[in-house]
Amino acid sequence: MRETWLTLDTAALRHNVAVIRRQMPQARLLAMVKADAYGHGAAMLAPLLAEQADALGTAFIDEALALREQGVRSPIAVLEGVFTTQELALARQHDLQLAVHSPEQLALFAQAPAGAQIAVWLKVNSGMNRLGLRPVEALKAWRVLAQSPAVKTRGLLTHFATADELDSRQTVQQLGRFRALQQALAEADGVPVSDSLANSAAIFAHAAAAGAWMRPGIALYGSSPFAHRSAESLGLRPVMTLRSRVIAVHTVPAGEAVGYGASWVAARDTRIAVVAIGYGDGYPRHAPSGTPVLINGQRCQLAGRVSMDMITVDLGQVTARPGDPVVLWGDGLPADEVASAAGTISYELFCRLTPRVQRHLLADEILNG
């Protein structure tokens, strides 16, 4: 049987939750599980995250409904909201919190029937210019929502464009706009306004962005949201380890090339290991020769192009035989390093894993015992 699989370390996940909570101890934790829990497998991790976090966050309603179907009962926020009255009805039926980010979504609520008791997050465009109402429109929308019979509670939400850059002027500016709006609304209402601002980067870099709710994604899974700070330096541990095995070892004489396009040429007689993973599994095809790979726990380098089902690795001084274990990223090799070599971010590596990769949960008991 072809052995290419990933393990999910639940102890690491618990650990990361604790590290994140220490960063913003006053904030409640809305764990982002969109895109199948960042490719990790929501079905496997959602029960644990539901227990560890105060709420879960998805992008679309379908993702939230799948969690409900799976038996997740904790609060779930749908951060891109709903787009039709049918979806609004479903959200109510399944007790989903909804973001409202556009005039169209606001109109859905203005016309909603009485009794649809939905918790709403008004999304403010504080400067990222992706989703959200500008502060002036948000001010009006806040009142519309107050009058909608469909709304149970209101919160104010925004998202940062550059929270991963230290000393970012844009983040300070976004924060200023958001806080000004929040204060105006609170003064008008005579009560504080619940807020949510911080993604993983802001949780570690912008204490002023702490609010009632933080929304970490990548940090939960143990990768760094920063280009120049390692996950380890943030105290995070990788949840996912992507694994495979060596299926062949051979010596390539100096001067001969390896793989499609003959792009890598052996400078000297070279021991090459063939590993049973490729872009058909989601290993990035753009990973260049030199990308790190762990064989028998030791660092080796990718040599030649990534194929659909295989990669070829320069063993250097490492000895290996068919059947030996390989780690593509995770335990012992940060996904951030592989991502950086491949010109992308760990988020994308995780999300691109295909169903061909089997997912296995490492329960805490197994790990500790």
What amino acid positions are annotated as catalytic residues? 34, 260
Query: Least CB distance from residue 347 to ligand PLP, whole Å?
Result: 6
Query: Least CB distance from residue 196 to ligand PLP, whole Å?
Result: 8
Task: Quote the tokens at residue 225.
Answer: 């949201």
**CA atoms of 88 and 212, how far apart (whole Å):** 25
Query: Least CB distance from residue 153 to ligand PLP, whole Å?
Result: 18
Count other Cβ atoms within 10 Å, centred on residue 169: 9
H helices of the chain, in order, are 10-23, 34-38, 42-52, 61-69, 85-93, 103-110, 135-147, 169-189, 200-205, 335-341, 346-351, 364-368
Query: Least CB distance from residue 199 to ligand PLP, whole Å?
Result: 4
**CA atoms of 144 and 138, how far apart (whole Å):** 10
**CA atoms of 229 and 238, how far apart (whole Å):** 15
**CA atoms of 214 and 95, how far apart (whole Å):** 20
Burial category of 136 from C-beta neighbours within 10 Å (exposed 0-12, middle 13-18, buried 19 and up): exposed
Query: Least CB distance from residue 286 to ligand PLP, whole Å?
Result: 22
Count other Cβ atoms within 10 Å, centred on residue 166: 13
Query: Least CB distance from residue 304 to ligand PLP, whole Å?
Result: 33
| Structural contact between residues 251 and 320, judged by C-beta atoms closer than 8 angstroms | no
Ranked by CB distance to ligand PLP, the top (closest) residue is 217
Question: Which residues of the chain form contacts with ligand PLP (CB under 6 A)?
Answer: 32, 34, 79, 159, 199-201, 215-219, 225
**CA atoms of 207 and 211, how far apart (whole Å):** 9
Task: Quote the tokens at residue 150.
Answer: 């469909």
Query: Least CB distance from residue 201 to ligand PLP, whole Å?
Result: 6
Nearer to ligand PLP, 97 or 291 (CB): 97
HEC per residue, 188-203? HHCCCCEEECCCHHHH
**CA atoms of 143 and 147, how far apart (whole Å):** 6
Q: At 286, which amino acid appears?
A: H
Distances (CA, A) of 218 to 78, 96, 121: 18, 23, 22
